Structure 1
Amino acid sequence: MPDAIASRPRKSWFAALRRHLANIYRLTIKELRSIRSDPIMLLLVAYSFTIAIYAAATGASTEAKHLSVGIVDEDRSSLSRSLADGLTPPTFKPAVALASTDIDAAMNAQRVIFVIEIPPKFEADILAGRQPTVQIDVDATAAAQAFNGMTYIQNVIVSYVTDFVAHREGAVPEPVTVVTPVKFNPNLTSSWFTSVMQIISNLTMITVTLTGAALIREREQGTVEHLLVMPVVPSEIMLSKIFANGIVIVVSAALSLLLVVEWWLQVPVTGSRLLFLGGACFYVFTVAALGIALGTVASTMAQFGLLSIPVLLVMMLLSGSSTPLESMPVWLKDLMLVISPTPHFVVFSQDVVYRGAGASIVWPEILATAAIGSVFFAIALYRFRRVIFSG
């Protein structure tokens, strides 16, 4: 008899759990059908994880590539002619010979970005031990590329002049050669970094937008009133919205990583893709809870848009994806690591995708993301009960 009495609470607990899971499943199906019936939102998701990733990775590059250079050679010596040989592709286009009177016209017409002015008696002054001046005119409209290209040109000139003097004087080569190996990105290709970071930024933006918009849409259309009379609890409604939108976003991120980043952009992924997607699930849960919390604060879609813009900007700009966390003030860095999951997910993604780190290394970042997500979910649940079910 006592065993039968003890088994009743256990059976009732399992029955309640099955009922909750069944409710979450049915509500998730409802949310998925709602997403399917919104072609504009589906188009936004498709664009954000395809064309937007490619455009950001290739169009926002600050690398010095295919730079047009003009040379005004007033010396016409073997040394001055050899400087053009050092301006090799893909960094530079073949150098164009210019007269000194054509410099302004060529730069104003954007036919050249850099102009190297080699003075008369350049080679003779070098051999005599004097220090002639080589002038580099720069079109600094694109400041980052102008600075990088100018640095490359300076290195070419110094290298060729040094080799020329060493061979003429029979100098002994330096006993030490400095070699700088570059790990994880040997060619310093910016698209390798930008593409994955853009996935994180778009994942953050789309998750907040989808989950918040799902709640606002139901409030504006009045369908949330139907949920109030159904035998469901607020946590089931919230979890269904998080799961439905999370499925769409994680699948989109997986396809983007496979098709856009690896296949289209040819970016090698060193680590485990499953581990990356597993961490993305924790991150999407956290950001989706934030989206629902914002949706309970705003009463219309316009208010939600205005409210989410500053939140998303702060999360993405101070995430470490565009600027290193180490460059921030210490107090701001510590604050973002406490209140925002994005810095943790950025570190997690960089370790897994670029460096091939395993779960034994990145688990603290997953744990931090889950902890922040639990706080966001609790706040969102409190606001949801107060605004929706008590309103």
Structure 2
Amino acid sequence: MRALGNIFRLGVKELYSLARDPVLMGLILYTFTFAVFTVANGVRTEVRNAAVAIVDEDRSGISSRIIGALLPPYFKPPRVISSQEMNPAMDRGDYSFVLTIPSGFQRDLLAGKQPEIQLNVDATAMTLAGNGTRYIQRIVQTELERFVAEDGRQSVLPAEIVSRARFNPNLESKWFLAVMQVTGNITILSVILSGAAVIREREHGTIEHLLVMPLRPIEIMLAKIWANGLVIVSAAVLSLVLVVRGVLGIPVPGSVAVFAMGAGVYLFAVTSLGIMLATFARTMPQFGLLAIPVFVVLYMLSGGMTPLEAMPEPLHTGMQFSPATHFTSFAQAVLYRGAGLDLVWRDLLAVAAIGAVFCALALYRFRRTMSVG
């Protein structure tokens, strides 16, 4: 009970210290409000206002229909250019897509032949290139089928695929990005706040005060973990409720309470990691340089931005030992698909196990730091 009392009182001291730091408080406020809002509204993975041009060498009814089918908000009004203008225009980046309809296309189509349409794509913007190509292919195929059917020719396919998009029926990237931004910010702030708490003790000289008190290193470390974890979990939950649901109007079908519980387990792991990193640094600039590559790897390779299946096999296997990988899987299952604890307990167990290892390593390093003073 004495140890629990020490952990509680030290944690309260951490909360007071954090509240008096306007920079960190401003960072927390910005990260879970404005940053979530701007990323959700500013980053688009679906096609919006793509610049498209047409090289219409056929000048036929079907080419006019294809041009008229490329409509906003997916595409800007298409411009008809000559074949000589195409390469210079794409070199300048004027158009993301240039569709070339060859001469005699409609004649060959009505004759039962299989004429080709060339689609030139600026693949430097990979996401736009991939999604836009699929959009244009579907639009052209639909117009061709309608044109052939109106001409009295058979165009019924032997089978039809009916797609059903679950959990995000309109395929809006905002729904995905807003929630992933919240979970990603949890990782970043957990490392920063916990590490900053240790560095702050050293820079202010209060580490010496702790050394002469009847405290054990485990009590000091656990106090920093629960205090900083409480702040981040509270900020993340408020961000989901007020910013994601309220301001952005994005439905979150899953249980926020289950998410908060899982986030608490995850914070145990990541704040331990932040404390361990802080024991290798003497100043905040050093800690920042050390922490940046760590949470960039955790965030980018957790499976939220890039599918784990698309990674090389050694990297895919190695990321299974990252708590961020399992927490991302947990967060997506709970917040997107409404999964309960009966479906996500394995991810939580993995996070807790990895967190126990991180905590043991952080305690070892923290003890050495305190003994050195």
Alignment TM-score, normalising by the size of structure 2? 0.91
Instruction: Give secondary structure in 2 for the equivalent of 1:88.
Output: coil
Q: Give the corresponding residue for 2:363.
A: 381
* Distance (Å, rounded) in 1 between the aligned partners of 2:310 and 2:58: 46
> Which of 218, 238, 244 in structure 1 is aligned with 2:201?
218
Q: Give the corresponding residue for 1:12.
A: none
> Which of 263, 278, 295 in structure 1 is aligned with 2:246?
263
Instruction: Give secondary structure in 1 for the equivalent of 2:103.
Output: coil
> Given the superposition, is the C-alpha separation of residues 140 and 365 from structure 1 closer, same or farther in structure 2, using an over 3 Å criterion?
closer
* Distance (Å, rounded) in 2 between the aligned partners of 1:117 and 1:74: 8
Residue pairs, 1:1-391, within 5 angstroms: 17=1, 19-98=2-81, 103=86, 112-171=95-154, 173-338=156-321, 340-389=322-371, 391=373
Is contact 2:191-2:271 (8 Å) kept? yes
Cα deviation, 1:218-259, whole Å, max 9, x if unaligned, reads 112211111112232222211221122112111111121122
Instruction: Give secondary structure in 1 for the equivalent of 2:100.
Output: strand
The one-letter code matched in structure 2 to 1:368 is: A
* Distance (Å, rounded) in 1 between the aligned partners of 2:316 and 2:53: 45
Is contact 2:258-2:334 (8 Å) kept? yes
* Distance (Å, rounded) in 1 between the aligned partners of 2:151 and 2:243: 52
Moved more, 168-177 or 77-86: 168-177
Cα deviation, 1:47-83, whole Å, max 9, x if unaligned, reads 2212222333333322211223233434332222111
Is contact 2:145-2:155 (8 Å) kept? no
- 1:316 deviates by 2.1
Cα RMSD of the aligned pairs, angstroms, is 2.3
Greater radius of gyration (CA): 1
- 1:368 deviates by 1.7
The one-letter code matched in structure 1 to 2:17 is: S
- 1:390 deviates by 5.0
> Given the superposition, is the C-alpha separation of residues 319 and 125 from structure 1 closer, same or farther in structure 2, using an over 3 Å criterion?
same
Q: How many residues align?
A: 373
* Distance (Å, rounded) in 1 between the aligned partners of 2:363 and 2:84: 72
Structure 1's unaligned 5+ residue stretches are 1-16
Q: Give the corresponding residue for 1:4.
A: none
> Given the superposition, is the C-alpha separation of residues 179 and 222 from structure 1 closer, same or farther in structure 2, using an over 3 Å criterion?
same
Moved more, 77-86 or 285-294: 77-86
> Given the superposition, is the C-alpha separation of residues 131 and 275 from structure 1 closer, same or farther in structure 2, using an over 3 Å criterion?
same
* Distance (Å, rounded) in 2 between the aligned partners of 1:88 and 1:257: 34
Percent identical residues: 51
Instruction: Give secondary structure in 1 for the equivalent of 2:167.
Output: coil
The one-letter code matched in structure 2 to 1:302 is: P
Moved more, 137-146 or 95-104: 95-104
* Distance (Å, rounded) in 2 between the aligned partners of 1:336 and 1:103: 44
Structure 2's unaligned 5+ residue stretches are none
- 1:280 deviates by 0.3
> Given the superposition, is the C-alpha separation of residues 130 and 171 from structure 1 closer, same or farther in structure 2, using an over 3 Å criterion?
closer
> Given the superposition, is the C-alpha separation of residues 71 and 331 from structure 1 closer, same or farther in structure 2, using an over 3 Å criterion?
closer
Moved more, 239-248 or 173-182: 173-182
Moved more, 236-245 or 136-145: 136-145
